[in-house]
Amino acid sequence: MKHYQNSWSTGIVIRHVYSRVYGMFLEWGLAMKLASPEWQDAEGNEVPKENVMGHPVQFTLLYPDLILVMDETGNSGNHSDDKATRAYMVMCKTGGPPPTPSCATDDITWTSQGFTSLFGKAVLYVVIIRKARNWNSSSNTGLISKRIG
């Protein structure tokens, strides 16, 4: 899918998407169209064109705390093939067994999604875990599980 990004992430497509999104904001009462476009700085203050941050602003968001944005990332927890470097020191009891470095050896992947309001306030964080076998929070997953409640 990533190899298609350069064909659909063009100025025309982005303007079309923003037009649709702001159309919905207007319809739902979350935004108001300005009488004429304004040049604004990073704080949203109207300024002369030479002091602008971006393009002319056409809308004012009335309830930015009710509009959420989301970013997503993911990773794999199986580190058995990483062959992590041993160029670090581990403290252990004198005369005891040598420390056993732990790493995740089970096939496990996760996606994490952070939801934030347009004010920049964190609202929700979601972690989706996919595992090849039945889930248990044993030491070979590299994850710590805590039951709440």
Q: CA 128 from chain center: how many Å?
A: 13
Domain stops at, among 29, 62, 95: 62
Position 34 scores a pLDDT of: 94
Residues 72, 134, single domain; the answer is yes
Residues 85, 147, single domain; the answer is yes
How much is the CA Rg of the chain, to the nearest whole Å? 24
Residues 86, 39, single domain; the answer is no
Position 22 scores a pLDDT of: 93
Residues 45, 57, single domain; the answer is yes
Position 126 scores a pLDDT of: 87
Residues 15, 69, single domain; the answer is no
Percentage, residues of the chain above pLDDT 70: 68
List, as one string, the DSSP characters of 120-142. S-EEEEEEEEEESS-----GGG-
Owning domain of residue 1: 1-62
Position 29 scores a pLDDT of: 94
SS3 99: coil
Q: What parts of the chain have a pLDDT lower than 50? A: 85-86, 139-142, 146-149
Question: Total structural domains in the chain?
Answer: 2
Residues 30, 70, single domain; the answer is no
pLDDT, tens digit, 9 for 90 and up, residues 116-127: 998 888 998 888
